[in-house]
Amino acid sequence: MFSFKIATRFLRFSLGQTILIVAGIAIGVSVQVFIGLLIQGLQKDLVDTTIGNSSQITVRPARGENNIEDWEMIFNEIEQNQEGIRALSPSADGPAFVLGEDRGDSVLVRGFQFDDAEGIYSFNEKIMEGFMPDPGEVMVGETLKDELDLALGEEIELATAEGKTEKYRISGFFDFKVANINATWILTTLDTAQELFGLDKSVTAIEMQVEDVFLADTIGGQIEELIDNEKIVVENWKDQNQELLSGLNGQSISSIMIQVFVMVSVILGISSVLAITVMQKSKEIGILKAMGIKDGTASRIFLVQGLLLGVFGAALGVALGLGLSVAFTKFAVNPDGSPIIALYINYGFIALSGGIAVLACLLASLIPARKSLKLNPIEVIRNG
């Protein structure tokens, strides 16, 4: 308590200097928070855009196999025993042609159990018009709709590579915001796709999303060991998107480097200022020691100063960093008014940034604290 009183008195006595130190810490923390949240938001946007609405781990037939016969057993095994899975869905896919009067457009017919697949593809958010298909119905992409001048309720004729043709009623139209998907995908129920491609009750893939996308390769390996079936292979997005992964890793490393250099500059700045404070207050410290306070109590004065400066600087810096992040999303916008990078708040990262700043201030205060231990009260008082 005594050290706290003296520390606060020193800080109030040199109020201008205290404000400058707190401002320096705040600026350092704000840069750390702003850059960190910005890069994390960019990474989240990239991940969401590329794999956010797609399968992150996929169980497929091995080479030489056309489909997965015992998919229900594999599905249940993964669902019941594998941790970290957020959504799990079987699918039956196959190429087909949309038959018209004078043309045949190549498409990919995708059959799902839509209740299961909703957690992966968010179909309900992408419906532009109409409803999800029932058995014997299909849903068509916006681009294909415009190209073929299709309308709700009309029939569309599909032909498979084996020569089988079937007509289906159009139940709705979707927009995935991806031109290739909107032009080539036709969605239907799992049963309808199985019947069209003669799959009986088998499927062509089991798709899933995971809680932590960056653990997809680890979870994929665990699933491979869990199933232990030579007739299937387990793929994950990290193996298939090495360039994207390299870019994300590069961003993370650059963010960490920036934050480290910012914290080093903060530590050096606080250390130098507090070291000067020791010299400025050496007479007062000498008098206090002559009055009987112990060396440890004197050194704790500077530790308390470092702690107080760190807490106030970190709090102000976090507030300033969040303000910069919000301002960035308001001024850096796309033509439609949406932010270029959506605001992403990672409370764990913010708390860590503030904690590192406080710890850095404590470490910085160790230097002047040790220096105060060496002050001889008699020499200090004698020399003024």
Q: Which residue has the higher pLDDT, 364 or 270?
A: 364
Q: Are residues 123 and 229 in the same domain?
A: yes
Both ends of the chain: CA-CA distance in Å? Answer: 28
Q: Does pTM top 0.75 for this prediction? A: no
How many other C-beta atoms lie within 10 A of the C-beta of residue 101?
A: 4
Of 212, 237, 262, which one is at a domain's C-terminal end?
A: 237
Tokens of 12: 């109030």
340 and 274 in a common domain: yes
Q: Which residues span the domain enclosing 254?
A: 2-50+244-383
The pLDDT-based confidence of 275 (bands split at 50, 70, 90) is low
Where residue 158 falls (left for φ over 0; alpha for ψ -120 to 50; beta otherwise) is beta
Does residue 94 sit in the same domain as residue 11? no
Is residue 220 domain-shared with residue 109, that is, in the same domain?
A: yes
Task: In whole angstroms, give the CA distance from residue 194 to residue 274.
Answer: 74
Same domain, yes or no: 137 and 32: no
What's the mean pLDDT in 225-232?
88
Q: Predicted confidence band at 109 (pLDDT cuts at 50, 70, 90)? A: very high
* Domain shared by 186 and 208, yes or no: yes
Q: Let me know whether 36 and 129 are in one domain.
A: no
Whether residue 101 sits in one domain with residue 38: no
**pLDDT, averaged across the chain:** 83
What pLDDT, on a 0 to 100 scale, did the predictor assign at position 262?
A: 72
pLDDT at 283: 62
Mean pLDDT over residues 17-29, rounded?
82
- Give the residue-averaged pLDDT of 271-295: 63
pLDDT of residue 372: 63
Task: Say what the pLDDT of residue 80 is.
Answer: 92
What pLDDT band is residue 161 in, cutting at 50, 70 and 90?
confident
More confident residue, 294 or 311: 311
* pLDDT mean over 224-251: 82
Q: What is the pLDDT of residue 289?
A: 62
Does 21 share its domain with 143? no
Q: What burial letters (b/e) apply to 17-51, b meaning 16+ CB within 10 Å?
A: ebeebbebbbbbbbbbbbbbbbbbbbbbbbbeeeb
- Cβ 106 vs Cβ 129: under 8 Å: no
> Are both 135 and 209 inside the same structural domain?
yes
Going from the C-alpha of 73 to that of each of 79, 81, 91, 227, 323, the distances in angstroms are 10, 12, 15, 9, 51
Angstrom CA distances, 104 to 158, 162, 310, 335, stand at 9, 15, 69, 37
Give me 182's structure tokens: 């909107």
pLDDT at 264 over 70: yes
Region 248-262: mean pLDDT is 75
Among residues 219, 237, 255, the one where a domain terminates is 237
Final residue belonging to a domain, choices 211, 237, 263: 237
Give the closest residue to 298 by CA, choosing from 285, 287, 279, 308: 285
| Length of the chain counted residue by residue | 384
Say whether pLDDT at 284 is over 90.
no
Q: How many domains does the chain have?
A: 2
Tens-place pLDDT, residues 355-371: 888 887 787 777 766 76
- Check residue 223 and give its pLDDT: 94
